[in-house]
A and B are shown apart, each in its own frame.
Chain A
Amino acid sequence: GENVEQHPSTLSVQEGDSAVIKCTYSDSASNYFPWYKQELGKGPQLIIDIRSNVGEKKDQRIAVTLNKTAKHFSLHITETQPEDSAVYFCAASIRSGGGADGLTFGKGTHLIIQP
């Protein structure tokens, strides 16, 4: 089955700096790569996703890049703000548009924004 590795497990950055979280996946058939953000006391929430026919996607201060050849994808957050502090999960699925039971999550990155 699919295996998703996520690094680092904890990332501390100064407010205003950029943060990068990296994930690798094992199944070359994976074609859908979402990122979820979990704030304290809440469930994870989808913040951005990318499909395998796209190399990069941006939404304001966040962007995701995908390298299919190397089987890795990354989340980039620019101009970090205190509200970016949360746990971030990457995931990979071989069933784009299908059920989330085919989704494999990484172990999460705790992002800490230092004032």
Chain B
Amino acid sequence: EADIYQTPRYLVIGTGKKITLECSQTMGHDKMYWYQQDPGMELHLIHYSYGVNSTEKGDLSSESTVSRIRTEHFPLTLESARPSHTSQYLCASSEFSKLFFGSGTQLSVL
């Protein structure tokens, strides 16, 4: 069982709010990722990190930002949430090419 945790599990907020989605892993992995999963199931890489103080944008442009101050922690922030940000957000870490996913945060912006 992968030791990667995401909170909250579900989040419903109003437009314009600032939110932070939390992601933590206890496996000591250097590489971590954020994926956005649309209702049609497709996975889109939006951010990744190769280690502390390393952050890169993924294939899908996103208005969110990430930080990596500690190896185990990779939070995602939306400064001003909009309905278009409604989606499932999955955090993952990797060992070599194998990804370990958290259970996700389902975000709904009203």
Where the two chains meet, the residues of A that have a C-beta atom closer than 8 Å to any C-beta of B are 32, 34, 36, 38, 41-46, 49, 87, 89, 93, 95-101, 103, 105, 107-108, 110
Tell me, rounded to whole Å, the shortest Cβ–Cβ distance linking A100 to chain B: 4
Complex Cα distance, B98 from A34, in Å, reads 8
Q: Which residues of A contact B40 (CB under 8 A)?
A: 107-108
The answer to whether B99 and A41 touch across the interface, beta carbons within 8 angstroms, is no
The verdict on B94 contacting chain A, using a C-beta distance below 8 Å, is: yes
Complex Cα distance, B42 from A89, in Å, reads 9
The answer to whether A101 and B45 touch across the interface, beta carbons within 8 angstroms, is yes
Q: Which residues of A contact B63 (CB under 8 A)?
A: none
Where the two chains meet, the residues of B that have a C-beta atom closer than 8 Å to any C-beta of A are 2, 4, 31, 33, 40-43, 45, 48, 50, 56, 58, 90, 92, 94, 96-99, 101-104
Tell me, rounded to whole Å, the shortest Cβ–Cβ distance linking A52 to chain B: 13
The answer to whether A96 and B97 touch across the interface, beta carbons within 8 angstroms, is yes
By beta carbon, the residue of chain A nearest B4 is: A43
The answer to whether A43 and B92 touch across the interface, beta carbons within 8 angstroms, is yes
The answer to whether B56 and A43 touch across the interface, beta carbons within 8 angstroms, is no
The answer to whether A97 and B97 touch across the interface, beta carbons within 8 angstroms, is yes
The answer to whether B41 and A107 touch across the interface, beta carbons within 8 angstroms, is yes
A-B contact pairs, 11 of them (CB 8 A): A34-B99, A41-B103, A42-B103, A43-B102, A97-B97, A98-B97, A99-B97, A103-B97, A107-B42, A108-B40, A108-B42
By beta carbon, the residue of chain B nearest A36 is: B99
The answer to whether B94 and A99 touch across the interface, beta carbons within 8 angstroms, is yes
The answer to whether A44 and B96 touch across the interface, beta carbons within 8 angstroms, is no
The answer to whether B41 and A46 touch across the interface, beta carbons within 8 angstroms, is no
The answer to whether A100 and B103 touch across the interface, beta carbons within 8 angstroms, is no
- Known A43-B103, A107-B41, A108-B42; contact A95-B58, beta-carbon cutoff 8 A: no
Complex Cα distance, B38 from A105, in Å, reads 13
- Known A36-B99, A46-B99, A100-B92; contact A105-B31, beta-carbon cutoff 8 A: no
- Known A100-B33, A105-B42, A108-B41; contact A44-B97, beta-carbon cutoff 8 A: no
Complex Cα distance, B97 from A34, in Å, reads 9
